[in-house]
Amino acid sequence: MGALRTLLAHEIPPTSVACIIIEPIQGEGGFNPAPDSFLRELRALCDQYGILLICDEIQSGMGRTGKMWAFEHAGIVPDVVCVAKALANGMPIGAIVTRRELQEKWGVGAHGTTFGGNPVSCAAGVAVMQTMEEQNLVANAAARGEQLMTGLRTLMADDDRIGNVRGRGLMVGLELVKDRATREPDTETSEALITSCADHGLLVLNCGMHHNVIRFLPPIDVTPEEIDKGVALFAAALKALPRS
C-alpha cells in the first residue's frame, strides 16, 4: 500500500486515475489472497480520491471461497464487480455489477454488447443461483475448503517439496519449491506432478509466474468423501515422483 500511495503522490495524480482493478485472490498469478487489511486500505484510498474500486471475481466469485464474493472476507464493498464463469455453470455469460447510482450515471445502453442478455444463458444463471441457495452450496464450499486445506497441509508437514498451501474456501493453491528457506520455485516438479496426478485419476492444473503452484478448484457441491479421495490421489501422485 505504501508503494501505491507513493505512486499517487509523486508519479500519477489521483485525479488521473479512473479506477483500480484487483483480484481479491489472484487466479493465474498463483492463488495469492490479498490480505484483508490491504483490501480495506485500498477501499479507503479509493474513497479518499474518488477512484472507483473494481473487483475481478470471475474466478473467485459465486461462492468459490466460502462466501458469495471473495471481497466479503475483508468486509468491503467495491464499486464494480466483474462476474462470469460459474455464473451460468458453463453457459456463456458475463456480467458487471455496480452500485445503482453508477448505472444511472452511465445511462441505458452504455454497456451494450452483441450478445448481451442472452436469454438462455440468463435462465441458466437464475437456475444456478437458485440451486446454490436451495442446497446451501456457499456454506458447503467453506466447510469442504477447510477439509481440503487440512488434508493438503498434513501432506506439507511430511514433504518439504511443498512450500505453502494457501487460499480460501475451494480456491486453494499448493506451491512447490526446491527449498523452503529460499522459496525457490520448482517448476519441473509441478509439471511432473500434473502428469502423475492424471495417471492416478486426478486432473489438476498449475499457475503462478513460474507455473509451480498446483491449483485445486473442486465444484462447490463436492462431498466430504470426494475431498478425501482427491487428497489421497494427490498424495499417491506426489509420492510416486522421485525426489531430487
Beta-bridged to residue 144, according to DSSP, are none
Listed residue (144, 121, 123, 140) closest to 132, CA to CA: 140
Task: Please tell me the class of the 2-134 domain.
Answer: alpha beta
Q: How many residues appear in the chain?
A: 244
> What is the predicted pLDDT for the residue at 98?
93
pTM score of the predicted model? 0.92
> What is the predicted pLDDT for the residue at 203?
97
pLDDT digits (tens), the chain, 244 positions: 889 999 999 999 999 999 999 999 999 999 999 999 999 999 999 999 999 999 999 999 999 999 999 999 999 999 999 999 999 998 999 999 998 899 888 888 777 777 788 899 999 999 999 999 999 999 999 999 999 999 999 999 999 999 999 999 999 999 999 999 999 999 999 999 999 999 999 999 999 999 999 999 999 999 999 999 999 999 999 999 988 6
Per CATH, the architecture of 137-239 is what? Alpha-Beta Complex (3.90)
Tell the residue number behind the cell numbers 468459490, with chain if given: 64
> What is the predicted pLDDT for the residue at 106?
85
- Going from N- to C-terminal start, the domains of the chain cover 2-134, 137-239
Beta-bridged to residue 55, according to DSSP, are 22, 81
> What is the predicted pLDDT for the residue at 175?
98
> What is the predicted pLDDT for the residue at 110?
78
Say if CB 67 and CB 207 are below 8 A apart.
no
C-alpha to C-alpha distance for 179 and 171, rounded to whole angstroms: 24
Ordered DSSP codes for 147-185: HHHHHHHHHHHH-TTEEEEEEETTEEEEEEEEETTTTEE
> What is the predicted pLDDT for the residue at 116?
80
